[in-house]
Structure 1
Amino acid sequence: MEAILLVGGRGTRLRPLTISTPKPLLPTAGVAFLAHQLARAHAAGVERIVFATSYRAEMFEAAFGAHAHGVDLAYVDERQPLGTGGAIRNAARALTCGPDDPVLILNGDILSGHDVPAQVKLHEQAGAAVTLHLTEVEDPSRFGCVPTDDGGRVTAFLEKTSHPVTNQINAGCYVFRRSAIDTIAEDEVVSVERETFPALIASGAVVMGHVEPAYWLDVGTPEAFVRGSCDLVLGRLASSAMPGDPGERLTLAGASVSPGAVVRGGTTVGRGAVVEAGATVLGSVLLDDAFVAEGATVRGSVLSRGARVGPGAVLDEVILGDGAVVGPGNELCGGLRVWPGIELPPTAVRFSTDA
């Protein structure tokens, strides 16, 4: 089976992490985020994946080459962003399968533990044009709301409606019949959510919903990115791509964690990173060469490459860009983001986005 992996987004909600690195390549539980998706795709029977790239397109092939995690890889770039449907149509020119074959579509910012082979089986048994993975959430108004009939056939696709008729939402993994992809306009900006799926339903085409309440997370925000990385480390979602066993923390080669430090909650400590004695790091992501000094506390945060936290400083849900420095005594919280290279001098002042 072949797949198309949508990785063209700019990841603006994750800045400054995505200034120099596309969101799908951000280190997540010790490896690029996409490594987990490639490994899961391979386990589901995918043999070849076409990357639909746009933002910093050259970095994807440099990261993975022609073969990774058991899957052959190809790359198709969008010169201008074409939306989800346009990206699928553009990437499809690199597919090699027949018109009736299933093509798996994956989004490059979704962590999911759902049963892909079961989704493909439903698709083939129903003779569907498209089969969507659907999951259930408490607040469906934030997502695409997708009602189905008693037989599992999708009856409507209501993108981010304020009055949802069901708690089933679009989970961002699709199985297309290859010929159905060819119905998408070529070289045009097209949204599958707002245009392709509603048009297929209106035409009478069979669009199925595979409803499965497995682990699912959109990692498009800093909070969700940290949670996804920690969940992988803790083993809440299994991944053969993770370079270590599940546990309270993942410490990569060359990292140094003092015996007198507390590091847990699914924290990743990157290569060359240092956590000194008396420091506490809970549920966070420390990238390569990050530094947490004695007595500092870091919770639910990301320290980018070479970022430094001084003695006694406190970070609570904070993003530090590459090389950012937080001097001793600072207290940062509330989703604050410190841009690359910024240095905050020693202080006893509390900084918050709520201030």
Structure 2
Amino acid sequence: MAARRHSETVGIILAGGRGERAKPITLKSADYIRSKALIPFVGKRLVEWVVEACRDQGIRRFFVVAHGLENRNQIKLLLGHGEHHGVEVRYSRSRLDRYNVGSAGATLHNLEQWDLQGQALVLPVDSLFDFDLAAMRATHDAYDALVTVAAVARTGAEIAGKYGVMRTDARGLVTGFVEKPPLAGLRELFPQTAADERATLPTNAGMYLVDCRRLRLLAREPGLFRQSHQRLDWGGDLLPWLAGQGHPVATHAIGRLGDLGNVPDYLHTLRLVLDGAYEHMNRLMARPGPAGAHGWIHESSLQTKDDLTGTTLAQKIEEGSVRIGPGVRIGHEVEIGPGVRLEYTDVGDGAEIREGSTLVNSAVGESAVIGAHADVLDSYVGPMAVVHSERGRPARLECHTAIGDGAVLRPGSRFRGITVYPRLRVPTLTGVPAATELKNADDVLRWV
């Protein structure tokens, strides 16, 4: 057993962040944060997709680095100790929370706590990865790397101000990092990006394959030890230090990285998943039977009747009164009225989509209600939210509008890039500037 555990790859899930950028998706109420691990995504919570994608590639033991009572309890209530997923899950000790102030610091402290000796795949819980673990391990072993960084190739325009770039030598080992350079600086440092706009550079995807034993030994070096007890991040601190000290840091190109850390990126990743761009997700999201050509539609929803016509969704699809375009997932017992059009949209269990509504590039949470003749475009509507809408006063949500859990909107609302916090009751508003956050009743009254 000991030999097996030293040769296996375990998973370390960094799940202690507060999810500030992803609000209101990470809010259960205005003052109660949902762990990023529990972000709803195509029928499951994000951490479940992470565990299942890794499990299908042979990882059977997971170590979750949590932080604080609510964060730890929320994840543990969902995953337990892994029984329902066919894996083993353990959690960081609460007494280490005070040291978990940085992604790399948290990793180092918990490697020691769990006495890990072999290889570990370290990954955050606010991203979706499409990767081949066996290929990544082969790269890691070929370079005898201390750390192998999962890399995604991006153009200069994609990188500028958003992603860290890695410098590599002729052997392919990392020699340095440039953290989120502006476009001008990027072109100066990497002239090929100025000469060819299609030229790509390797960017840090935030997932790392590490040699636990060697990394633990290095963590005892006095300078690194001190910093790990203050703040030590992977991309900004530990990786540059390792490369600067000449330790072998390799890169391995993976298929895709989907960031779910904010609403625009969440919706962009959702669109790609529903379009079949993530191979692992394709395998995990097995298409159901007769409606497979249209998307992922649960049988219970196909047999659910709407209260206006009394016909099932299957009947409405067959007669053409409901149009299901590409990239649609519909969960359990969803009620959909006549005249509805769906395209690249995820609809959670128990939701209601009333007659005449159009939803494109959007997500609708469990038990949410979209009123009649509403237009929901490039938007997120959280669980239990209600978007009232009528033929004469249709609601329109667009341009990355996000409606938090249980919020209620009145008919005729026109929201463009607006964030509504959970459980707010919002009257009909039409002139609110883009990027406005409605956090409380006072914010709402300001625009009435």
Q: Give TM-score scaled by structure 1 length.
A: 0.92
Counterpart CA distance in 2 for 1:236 and 1:130 is 27
1:92 to 83, 105, 111: 111
- Is 2:18 aligned against 1:10? yes
Per-residue deviation at 1:97? 4.3
Kept in 2, the 8 Å contact 1:31–1:241? The answer is no
Counterpart CA distance in 2 for 1:66 and 1:180 is 28
Counterpart of 1:79?
97
Larger radius of gyration between Structure 1 and Structure 2? 2
Kept in 2, the 8 Å contact 1:83–1:190? The answer is yes
Kept in 1, the 8 Å contact 2:27–2:422? The answer is no
1:137 to 154, 161, 166: 154
Kept in 1, the 8 Å contact 2:42–2:348? The answer is no
- Is 2:79 aligned against 1:64? yes
- Is 2:363 aligned against 1:322? no
- Is 2:197 aligned against 1:169? no
Cα offsets for 1:315-343 (capped at 9, x unmatched): 0021111211111111101x210111222
- Is 2:79 aligned against 1:45? no
2:173 to 149, 153, 170: 153
Per-residue deviation at 1:302? 1.2
Counterpart CA distance in 1 for 2:230 and 2:408 is 44
2:274 to 233, 236, 239: 233
Cα offsets for 1:104-123 (capped at 9, x unmatched): 11111121212222111111
Per-residue deviation at 1:205? 1.2
Counterpart CA distance in 2 for 1:95 and 1:103 is 12
Cα offsets for 1:186-232 (capped at 9, x unmatched): 544211222211221122211111134x2222211101112223332
Secondary structure class of the residue paired with 2:174: coil
> Which runs of 4 or more aligned residues in structure 1 lie more than 4 Å from their structure 2 counterparts after TM superposition?
243-246
Within 5 Å, give how 1:1-355 maps onto structure 2: 1-20=9-28, 21-54=34-67, 56-67=71-82, 68-76=84-92, 77=94, 78-80=96-98, 81-93=100-112, 95=114, 97-98=116-117, 101-138=118-155, 139-141=158-160, 142-162=162-182, 163-164=185-186, 165-166=189-190, 167-182=201-216, 183-184=218-219, 185=225, 187-212=229-254, 214-238=255-279, 239=281, 240-242=283-285, 244=287, 247=295, 248-265=327-344, 267-311=345-389, 312-316=394-398, 317-333=400-416, 335-346=417-428, 349-353=430-434
Match for 2:131: what amino acid?
A: H
Cα offsets for 1:274-294 (capped at 9, x unmatched): 001101111111111110111
Secondary structure class of the residue paired with 2:168: coil
Counterpart CA distance in 2 for 1:216 and 1:136 is 10
Secondary structure class of the residue paired with 2:169: coil
Kept in 2, the 8 Å contact 1:293–1:310? The answer is yes
Alignment CA distance shift 1:342-1:18 (3 Å): same
Kept in 1, the 8 Å contact 2:152–2:256? The answer is no
Counterpart CA distance in 2 for 1:48 and 1:134 is 24
Kept in 2, the 8 Å contact 1:319–1:337? The answer is yes
Counterpart CA distance in 1 for 2:136 and 2:353 is 44
Per-residue deviation at 1:94? 5.0
Per-residue deviation at 1:300? 1.4
Deviates more, 1:87-96 or 1:114-123: 87-96
Secondary structure class of the residue paired with 1:12: coil
Counterpart CA distance in 2 for 1:286 and 1:243 is 20
Per-residue deviation at 1:354? 5.8
Cα offsets for 1:154-196 (capped at 9, x unmatched): 1112222332335221111111111233123354421122221
Counterpart CA distance in 2 for 1:194 and 1:331 is 41
Kept in 2, the 8 Å contact 1:4–1:91? The answer is no
Counterpart CA distance in 1 for 2:210 and 2:86 is 22
Per-residue deviation at 1:13? 0.9
Counterpart CA distance in 1 for 2:57 and 2:233 is 26
Match for 1:262: what amino acid?
A: R
Alignment CA distance shift 1:90-1:259 (3 Å): farther
Per-residue deviation at 1:346? 3.4
Counterpart of 2:4?
none
Counterpart CA distance in 2 for 1:285 and 1:271 is 12
Cα offsets for 1:41-84 (capped at 9, x unmatched): 11222121101111522111110111153331111145234101
Kept in 1, the 8 Å contact 2:356–2:373? The answer is yes
Give the gaps of 5 or more residues in structure 1. Answer: none
Counterpart CA distance in 2 for 1:170 and 1:129 is 16
Match for 2:180: what amino acid?
A: K
Counterpart CA distance in 2 for 1:253 and 1:343 is 27
Count of residue pairs brought into register by the alignment: 349
Fraction of identical pairs, as percent: 24
Kept in 2, the 8 Å contact 1:2–1:47? The answer is yes
Secondary structure class of the residue paired with 1:13: coil
Match for 1:169: what amino acid?
A: T
Alignment CA distance shift 1:69-1:236 (3 Å): farther
Alignment RMSD? 2.0
Give the gaps of 5 or more residues in structure 2. Answer: 1-8, 29-33, 191-200, 220-224, 296-326, 437-448
Per-residue deviation at 1:244? 4.8
Counterpart CA distance in 2 for 1:225 and 1:47 is 27
